[in-house]
Amino acid sequence: MTAGERLRPALGTPAPLEPARRRAFRTDIQGLRAVAVVLVLLDHAGVPLLPGGFVGVDVFFVISGFLISAHLVEGLHRTGRVDFAGFYAARTRRILPAAFVTIIATAALSIAVVSPLRVRDIVDDAIASALYVPNVLFAIRETDYLAGTAPSPFQHLWSLGVEEQFYFFWPLALLAAFVVTKRSRRGMMVAIAAIGAVSFAASVATTAGSPSLAFFSPHTRAWEFAVGAAIAGLGPALSRMPAVAAQVLSWTGLGAIAVAAVVYSSDTGYPGAAALLPVTGAALVVAFGQRGTRGAVALLGLRPVQFVGAISYSLYLVHWPVLVLAHELVGLDRPLPVRIALVLAVGSVPLAWLLYRYVETPFRARPAADPRGSRTVLIVAAASVVVLVAALLGAGAGVARLPLTSDRAAESAPLSRLPGGTGFVPRNVTPSLTAATGDTGAIYTEKCQQGLSGAAVLTCVFGAPDSPRTIALFGDSHAGRWFPALDRAAQELGFSLHTFTKSGCRSEETAAAWAASRNASCSAWRDDVVALLNDDPPDVIVLANHLGPSPAADQTLLEAEWTDGLSLLLDRLPSSSRVVTLADSPEFASSPVVCLSSHLDDAADCSVDRAAAFNPAIRAAQQAAAAGHGASVLDLTDYFCNSATCPAVVGPLLVYSDEHHVTASFSLALAPALQRALAPLVETHR
């Protein structure tokens, strides 16, 4: 979800946990919670000036690490043990009630307003959230928290999953350090520092190769909690800091958080080393925010700030489902206008207050339970989870029985130019809406396409494999989706087909203006493919890539940059090879598959205007670069689109599996057209 255009999944705020022995109320920490949650809300509302508001999660993790570690360490030195039942019962009382109310309400509203196909995944998300493992589910799906057009209304609960998973480990780690170091505070600090250092190294390494895993994993986030824990352990030493210096440092910390929120964006590799800035900022505020009235507490202690800080957990819980479900109602094919999103974000405040006042506060206000009471809390909580999960499973089973086709069939016929499209979802639609994302073709199922994180060149031979005449397919996941058509065409033309494809990595060189990529292995992979092609030049090189619409306002500049970038690659390819570039397939603002599940009898509503489906500047750049290098551009757009629209269903064929990937079934149907267009070009290499 690009800043200002798409909603971004929310970033969690921990519910506060008070220690067994009450300490002085930290006005600065309460205010810091408010700052963090406001950054998140404004970011999710699409305010352009705060594209990095997602750093709020790091602030919350530092606060949580500070408060809860101080509580645990204090208990260890006071009693020599950890009251695990009491600790987890306290976490349960403070976290679970408000979260469960949010899960139940969000699931019910989602079933009412979300398309049937998406509801199936959303129910799965609700179950994962009830079990506190949504982050694991999103990591497995490789969810991009900044780049989805249809985010889950439960996506914000990933951070609660990270936090709770961390706190299964953390008390044990502190107890082990306490025992091994023989009650030494210095030894415990060394252990905290070691855990933090290992986690930070893992975060940096994982962010480079697998950003989704790095973002959602507790082991890559543990160092942020450890920083908070270190501040708690260094309390006596930090208290000796001169008051003026402490006040300056507290303002510096607040400024660091603000800078990260303004400077960072969806293109920032995150968390990784970039998270150091907001984490350090939060640590400075937590360490020195309470020193005197001229420090950051002058801002953080204001009454409105304190109010927002008090309801921050409930506000975090409710605002994201409100934004996401409102976006569902107005339609995912367009961004939620910033002004509407801001109104909804502000409207979430009274909802949050109600949740805070009537759900969160009554449970938090209860006195500390005795050991038997703690066990009772945990038993009731476990039973509640079982009941909620069972109810969600039942709801999911009911949703799975909803029809995803009309009661009419469509006739099969060879693809022709300017298709009118099928005005309904045929009962014989191929692939089915539920199978669309898995309809990828042999290049995927035979593991011939490199993934996002891998740098090694994977190549397989298809087509007419024994033929001495060769075609090389070079590109990203769109090349993978063109593969079924090219494979069949290569067979008919008598060429072997060698594949060189990698998800999220264009074969085109990257010009300076569009070099930003979180696919850190892309350049090395591309360079290696180019070297292999030069070592053994194929007769024909087919380039196919995702070249979708760009938000750039200056189309002339965009065309020049892409022409330069495409030319950089063409200059490096072997001169003996005939280079053919495939014009890209249409792009939708939101998934037509999801749309079709709600428009079984009016599929035309899920088409995209032809003029909006392509970027003319990039298409012009393809033609210009090809003309300057003796290459060719094959454009099969007329098989996807008629003069006005690009339909989502043609005959019985589902054309797309998501916003811009073609299904393998439709790609295979394109083979005759691709063969006819390719034949005159490849014949020159007989």
pLDDT tens digits, residue range 249-270?
999 999 999 999 999 988 788 9
Q: Which helix (H) or strand (E) holds 179?
A: helix 158-180
- pLDDT, residue 366, reads 63
Task: Give mean pLDDT, residues 403-409.
Answer: 93
Reduced 3-state DSSP string for 17-59: CCCCCCCCCCHHHHHHHHHHHHHHHHHHCCCCCCCCHHHHHHH
* Stretch among 53-67, 143-157, 305-319, 381-395 having the lowest mean pLDDT: 143-157
pLDDT in tens, 166-207: 999 999 999 999 999 888 888 889 999 999 999 999 999 998
| Confidence (pLDDT) at 150 | 73
Which strands sit side by side in the sheet containing 496-501, from one edge to the other?
461-463, 496-501, 470-475, 540-544, 578-582, 632-634
Over residues 286-307, the mean pLDDT reads 92
Residue 501: which H helix or E strand, with range? strand 496-501
Give the whole-angstrom CA distance, residue 538 versus residue 558.
Answer: 31
Give which of 14, 133, 11 is closest to 66, Cα–Cα: 14
CB 139 within 8 A of CB 212: yes
Give the list of residues 6+ apart from residue 255 with CB closer than 8 angstroms, or none.
281
d(CA 65, CA 579) in angstroms, rounded, equals: 56
Q: Hunting for tokens 């079990």 — which residue is that?
A: 131
Nearest Cα neighbor of 145 from 156, 133, 160 is 156
Strands 632-634 and 578-582: parallel
Q: What is the mean pLDDT of residues 468-484?
A: 95
Structure confidence at residue 575 as a pLDDT band (50, 70, 90): very high
The CATH fold assigned to 440-588+610-643 is: Rossmann fold (3.40.50)
Q: Is the pLDDT of residue 97 over 60?
A: yes
* C-alpha 650, offset from chain centre: 31
Sole residue written with tokens 């042999």: 442
Which are the contacts of 79, defined by CB distance < 8 A and separation ≥ 6? Answer: none
**Can you give the pLDDT at residue 22?**
54
Task: Write out pLDDT tens, residues 208-260.
Answer: 878 889 999 999 999 999 999 999 988 888 888 999 999 999 999 999 999 99
Residues, the chain: 686
Q: What is the mean pLDDT of residues 119-147?
A: 85
pLDDT at residue 8 in the model: 39
- Would you state the pLDDT for residue 280? 97
pLDDT value at residue 431: 96
Tokens of 533: 């092609």
pLDDT at 6 > cutoff 50: no
Count of H helices and E strands in the chain?
27, 10
The mean pLDDT value of the chain amounts to: 88
pLDDT in tens, 337-351: 899 999 999 999 999
Tokens of 672: 């005759």
Tell me, what's the pLDDT at 66?
A: 95
Q: What is the mean pLDDT of residues 64-75?
A: 91
Phi then psi for residue 475, to 5 deg, are: 170, -165
Confidence of residue 523 (pLDDT cuts 50, 70, 90): confident
Higher pLDDT, 481 or 551: 481
User: Which of 28-32, 532-536, 586-590 comes out lowest in average pLDDT?
Assistant: 586-590
Task: Provide long-range contacts, Cβ within 8 A and 24+ apart, for 512-516.
Answer: 512/561, 513/557, 513/561, 514/550, 514/561, 514/562, 514/565, 516/267
Mean pLDDT of 152-169: 93
Q: Look up residue 601 and give its DSSP letter.
A: T
Q: Which residue's entry shows tokens 């594209």?
A: 51
Where is pLDDT greater, at 105 or 73? 105
pLDDT band with cut points at 50, 70 and 90 for residue 140: confident
Q: Which residues pair with 581 in a beta bridge?
A: 543, 633
Q: Rounded distance, CA 201 to CA 204, Å?
A: 5
Helix (H) or strand (E) holding 498: strand 496-501
Listed as own residue / partner, the contacts of 120-126 with beta carbons closer than 8 Å and 24 or more positions apart are 120/396, 120/399, 120/400, 120/434, 121/152, 122/152, 122/153, 122/154, 123/392, 123/395, 123/396, 123/399, 124/396, 125/152, 125/153, 125/154, 125/155, 126/154, 126/392
Taking a C-beta distance cutoff of 8 angstroms, is the pair 122, 116 a contact?
A: no
With bands split at pLDDT 50, 70 and 90, how would you rate the model's confidence at 4? Answer: very low
Structure tokens at 406: 């009309």
User: Tens digit of pLDDT for each residue in 607-628?
Assistant: 999 998 998 888 899 999 999 9
- On the CB side of 294, how many CA atoms lie within 13 Å of its CA? 6
Per-residue confidence band for 512, with pLDDT thresholds at 50, 70 and 90: very low
> Residue 474's pLDDT band (boundaries 50, 70, 90)?
very high
Encode pLDDT of 408-429 as tens digits.
Answer: 999 998 999 999 999 999 999 9
d(CA 335, CA 1): 9
Torsion sign, CA atoms 183, 185, 189, 190: negative
Candidates 654, 547, 676, 538; CA nearest to 591 is: 654
pTM for this predicted structure: 0.84
Residue 389 CB burial class (10 angstroms; 0-12, 13-18, ≥19): middle
User: Pick from 418, 336, 443: which is nearest to 661 by CA?
Assistant: 443
Least confident of 310-314, 399-403, 539-543, 660-664: 399-403
Percentage of residues in the chain having pLDDT higher than 90: 66
Q: Which of 207, 172, 174 is nearest to 193 (CA)?
A: 174
The answer to whether the CB of 410 falls within 8 A of the CB of 422 is: yes
CA trace torsion 57, 59, 61, 62 (10° rounding): 170
The predicted model gives 58-67 an average pLDDT of 96
Query: Tokens standing for 291?
Result: 């020193």
Confidence at residue 144, expressed as pLDDT on a 0 to 100 scale: 62
Give residue limits of the domains in the chain.
27-399, 440-588+610-643
d(CA 264, CA 255): 14
Per-residue pLDDT of 558-570, as tens digits, reads 788 888 888 989 9
pLDDT-based confidence at residue 684 (cuts at 50, 70, 90) = low
For residue 23, the model assigns a pLDDT of 63
Region of poorest pLDDT, from 306-320, 322-336, 534-548? 322-336
